[in-house]
Amino acid sequence: MDITVELKGVIKAFGDVNAVDRVSLQVRRGEFFSLLGPSGCGKTTTLRLIAGFEAPTGGQILINDEDVADKRPYERNVNTVFQSYALFPHLTVTGNIAFGLERKKIPRSHITRQINEALDLVHLEGMGPRYPRQLSGGEQQRVALARALVLRPDVLLLDEPLGALDLKLRKEMQIELKRLQEKVGITFIYVTHDQEEALTMSDRIAVMEKGRLAQVGTPEDIYNMPRTRFVAEFIGVSNFFSGKIAESGQEQLVVETNSGLTVSLPGSENRQKGQPLQFSVRPEKISVISGEEDTEGENRFHGRILNRIFLGGSVTYVISLADDQQVKVDVKNDRRSRQPFPFSSGDHVVVSWHREDGVILAD
Amino acid sequence: MFPGIGKTGLFWPIEGIMKSNSSINFRKPVLDFFHRHSSAKVFGILSPCIFWIGIFFLLPLVLMAAYSFLERGLYGGVQWIFTWQNYTRLMDPLYLKILLRSLRISFLTTTILLAIGYPLAYRIATAQKRWRNILLFLVIVPFWTSDLIRTYAWMLILRDTGLINNVLMYLHIIESPVTLLYTEGAILMGLSYVYLPFMVLPLYASIEKLDHSLLEAAEDLGAGPIRRFFKVTIPLTQSGILAGMLLVFIPSMGAFVIPDLLGGAKVMMVGNLIQLQFGASRNWPLGSAASFILMAVVLAAVLSYLKFSGGRKALEEAL
């Protein structure tokens, strides 16, 4: 497989703290790869290590199979879109975009053509003579993007580039960025703390926690099969259960939760009876039916509705299953559930989910 | 409209100056202020400033202007007889030479200080936070002593039997004393020494507020240290460079204590000439005329520099 950037056991220590702790990952050519995590998880530091602004304390960074340990940022064919955009205030839009090109000893006419192409690419035709302070935040962001893309880097690093924009513009730019990335075919490494942003745009996501990689995978993998509680909690909403294994088999695993429910989970190797276990179920995987129905069968439990939250596209019910066990359930607002949402606070209901929708979490 | 009539009529010149340039943001609130209040009220609020500038700046200037066109009194003072003579006398090659020397020395001082001050300010601005104030303090601390005393100290160091000559002779590097004192070099040395903080402080202020991410961006876009310095650091600290150069050049042109003590009678600058006319020579009108010529020359030098370097914008930012 064609790998653009590879990190091998990379460590970055600031004092006693490892901001980046033994991170190993491979980013494929042409991929939109996101580093996702809460602030302080080491995602920006990882990006700065790849750009060359920080030197790793340990481990190796390879760009196009070449160790870049002793290469300064200006010697790496990697460009960054900074969180603050970092546009040069003393240069026009054209001057900013030309900054990296002029070094490359390209004839003037070529530079002019490339600048115009870059401006077209980000829909800023005719903005060349303006100064950054005369542009809106969204426009500045596009200039920063054009300035980096015009150099045709092997990898484009983006450090929360949409963070300063308002919600509507951010949504537009997400789609725009993804379109752009597919068009130019450059590898993007995108740092964000916004899980929705990562899910929308990425081919693959690396979730980081306290300097380490918690999980790497496609958005579907990460959402449907979170490996740890941290990942399940950070991405989307989940219902968490903990208990002990009552029965362990190839086909299924039966868990007695601490709240007294008996739950079937998909079978799993190397699990012993009596072992403690945590698992999660996504709210939209759970269905709600009237309380008159019986609770025979797998994973069907009585509950009482505590709260009903209408969200437009869906309704969220908060349902109490036992004294110390609540679940959130999302019901879609579609044609099948017209005459919909017959339940309100206090109603008795039956909730159920498929065995396969339970996800066993590592501690 | 006649100035002084109408709501904002009194301030039309100010308004005109302010409108000529649209990039400064304090201009709008100031203009709004003029528009919202009557002339009398604005005048009332500004009267302390007008009074201060009138008494301590405009009045002496007008007096000097008047003196420069009068004949000298016998024992100082003036006789109220109009004459052009003071200005025509100053066109004498002897005086022009003094003026040229002043320009040369001030220009060199400014250049030397920029060359020393920029690296120094840069180093201080990029030092660790707890060191910055200590280093700045060290730059300013000579100010605590009168520059007269510091200049006398330099005389002791530079004279024929001074520290430098003694050491060099003791080491047998030279056999007889080298003349250091009473040369143009000594003046350059003294001016550079005294005006160093005037260069370093504005430079420090502009370098310190330089956005570090812009330097990283330059590096990211392929600029090595040298290109980065000339393409990003220098243009973005231009306001500090300009302020520092003006703060050194202007007082250097008018300096008289340092050239007097370190240059002696052989190397006279415009400042000494003026002082001499008001002092020993008792020719106040000639001194006044020399002052006006000095002022005109400094103004012309500064304005042409600003025009040449396109530094007007940077100057506005600095102010």
- As beta bridge partners, residue A157 has A80, A189
Kind plus residue range of the DSSP H or E element containing A213: strand A212-217
Whole-number pLDDT of residue B310 = 64
Distance from CA of B277 to the nearest CA of A (A): 48
Cβ distance B236 to A103 less than 8 Å, yes or no, reads no
- pLDDT tens track for B235-268: 999 889 988 999 999 999 999 999 999 998 888 9
Mean pLDDT of B30-56: 85
Mean pLDDT of A192-201: 93
Least confident segment among A21-30, B41-50, B103-112, B218-227: B41-50
Contacts of A161 in chain B (CB under 8 A): none
Cα separations (Å) of B171 from A65, A299, B168, B178, B312?
Answer: 61, 100, 5, 14, 52
pTM of the full structure: 0.81
Confidence of residue A164 (pLDDT cuts 50, 70, 90): confident
Inform me whether the pLDDT recorded for B142 exceeds 70. yes
Whole-number pLDDT of residue A313 = 85
Confidence of residue A267 (pLDDT cuts 50, 70, 90): confident
Percent with pLDDT over 90 in chain A: 72
Inform me whether the pLDDT recorded for B7 exceeds 60. no
- pLDDT tens track for A99-130: 999 877 788 889 999 999 999 999 999 999 99
Whole-number pLDDT of residue B100 = 94
Confidence of residue A268 (pLDDT cuts 50, 70, 90): confident
- pLDDT tens track for B119-133: 999 999 999 999 999
Task: Find the length of chain B.
Answer: 319
Is residue B278 a contact partner of residue B287, using CB atoms and an 8 Å limit? Answer: yes
Whole-number pLDDT of residue B20 = 41
Whole-number pLDDT of residue B42 = 83
Mean pLDDT of A12-18: 93
Within 89-128 of A, beta carbons closer than 8 Å to B belong to 89-90, 99-100, 103-104
Mean pLDDT of A176-203: 94
- pLDDT tens track for A280-324: 999 999 988 887 766 667 889 989 999 989 888 888 999 999 878
d(CA B212, CA B195): 29
Cα separations (Å) of A326 from A27, A238, B7, B140, B227?
Answer: 39, 11, 72, 68, 62
Q: Which of A72, A74, A86 sits opposite B214 (nearest CB)?
A: A86
Within 228-247 of B, beta carbons closer than 8 Å to A belong to 231-232, 235-236, 238
Percent with pLDDT over 90 in chain B: 65
- The amino acid occupying position A71 is K
Is residue A52 a contact partner of residue A243, using CB atoms and an 8 Å limit? Answer: no
Inform me whether the pLDDT recorded for B210 exceeds 90. yes
Q: Which of B211, B220, B227 sits opposite A80 (nearest CB)?
A: B220
Of A309, A315, A303, the residue nearest A346 (C-alpha): A303
Is residue A198 a contact partner of residue A158, using CB atoms and an 8 Å limit? Answer: no
In this structure, the number of other CB atoms found within 10 A of the CB of residue A160 comes to: 20
Contacts of A147 in chain B (CB under 8 A): 221
Whole-number pLDDT of residue B147 = 85
- pLDDT tens track for B287-317: 999 999 999 999 998 888 887 776 556 555 5
Whole-number pLDDT of residue B316 = 57
Mean pLDDT of B88-99: 93
Strands A155-159 and A78-81: parallel
Whole-number pLDDT of residue B25 = 57
What does pLDDT average to over chain B? 86
Contacts of B214 in chain A (CB under 8 A): 86, 88-89
Contacts of B211 in chain A (CB under 8 A): 84, 86
Whole-number pLDDT of residue A102 = 84
- pLDDT tens track for B165-184: 999 999 988 888 888 899 99
Whole-number pLDDT of residue B39 = 82
Distance from CA of A79 to the nearest CA of B (A): 6
Whole-number pLDDT of residue B15 = 42
Contacts of B213 in chain A (CB under 8 A): 82, 84, 86
Hey, is B8 helix, strand or coil? coil
